[in-house]
Amino acid sequence: MSASQDRHATVKATFGQRATQTDHPLAAYLLRLMELKQSNLCLSADVSNARELLQLADAIGPSIVLFKTHYDLVAGWDYHPKTGTGAKLGALARKHGFLIFEDRKFGDIGRTVQLQYTAGTARIIDWAHIVNINMIPGKPAVKALAEAAKHWRSRVNYEVNTSVTVGTPVSDSFNDNGEEEAEEADTVGAMHPHPPPTQHRDSNSTGRKGSIVSITTLTQSFEPADSPRFATTIAEGDELVYAGIEEPPWERGLLILAQMSSAGNYMTPEYTRACQEACT
């Protein structure tokens, strides 16, 4: 049997055809992107500083579909979640039509990899569409990352709307001259979401009645945000999206490191099969 006859039927299909047969939204998006750009190039951006990284992404972005990073070897990486290096890479990815692949190679117990992925200084999950893991800690680590991405996905696409309502001071007492006792009004701090009305009462010898204070109420609501774009992270002029395709979906991708080309590695055939099984 020739090599061409031995190939799986999926390999013979176009990227567009394969996109329609893929369940994962991000995988389908990547295949559609490859069809649109007529490219399957992934650039390994092993550069030494953040400015060079962004310049490279801007220059080569139109020709690639994946931009592979090692954020922890980049000097000058700005960790600000809204205006930092990750956010700027995200803006360039939207503009030029590519996905970001952080080559982190997670390899620890479940809770640790979850925190490495979603928390800490880098918050990788916020800007990297795809990450990877080796199977040294076993399948539970894969499950832990999947759970972290699912939890992030369920929360991140909601905008928090805050409203503040200030009540009008009401007084039920007047002094002898008919003037309202405004000096008795007070303001309740907005830190309490529903502060109770309070009254000031003077001693009985004054003959005064209490006055109700003004109330400031703070309420918050969570509303779905249809677009993955972080509006506050994009500099003016960087809000473009690559023509012909929408923004990437919220779902995140995970690659399992089943093989390596380095000499003397310990990735045996048994290990590779275990990686394949972990994907199911």
pLDDT tens, position by position, 115-154: 999 999 999 999 999 999 999 999 999 999 999 999 999 9
- Residue carrying structure tokens 């990227």: 15
| 68 annotated among ligand-binding-site residues | yes
Question: For residues 49 and 66, what is the distance between their CA atoms, to the nearest angstrom?
Answer: 19
pLDDT in tens, 207-227: 555 555 556 665 555 454 444
pLDDT in tens, 28-85: 999 999 999 999 999 999 999 999 999 999 999 999 999 999 999 999 999 999 999 9
C-alpha distances in Å from residue 25, one per residue of 31, 77, 196, 249, 265: 10, 29, 48, 7, 33
pTM above 0.85, yes or no: no
β-pair type (42-44, 66-69): parallel
Q: Which residue ranges make up each domain of the chain?
A: 3-157+228-278, 161-223
Write down the H helix ranges in 134-221.
Answer: 139-156
| 95 annotated among ligand-binding-site residues | no
Options 3.40.1000.10, 3.40.50.1000, 3.30.360.10, 3.20.20.70; which CATH number does 3-157+228-278 get? 3.20.20.70
Biggest alpha carbon distance in the chain? 108
Question: What pLDDT, on the 0 to 100 scale, is given for residue 8?
Answer: 75
Which residues make beta-bridge pairs with 272? none
First to last CA, the chain: 29
Question: What pLDDT, on the 0 to 100 scale, is given for residue 220?
Answer: 52
Question: What pLDDT, on the 0 to 100 scale, is given for residue 75?
Answer: 98
Closest CA to 186 of 167, 205, 165, 173: 167
| Residues with active-site annotation | 103, 105, 108
Question: For residues 165 and 215, what is the distance between their CA atoms, to the nearest angstrom?
Answer: 8
The residue count of the chain comes to: 280
Question: For residues 276 and 74, what is the distance between their CA atoms, to the nearest angstrom?
Answer: 32
Mean pLDDT throughout 12-40? Answer: 95
CA atoms within 13 A on the CB side of 52: 11
CA 199 to chain centre: 46
Q: Which residues contact 249 (CB under 8 A, 6 or more apart)?
A: 25, 26, 29, 228
Question: For residues 176 and 81, what is the distance between their CA atoms, to the nearest angstrom?
Answer: 59
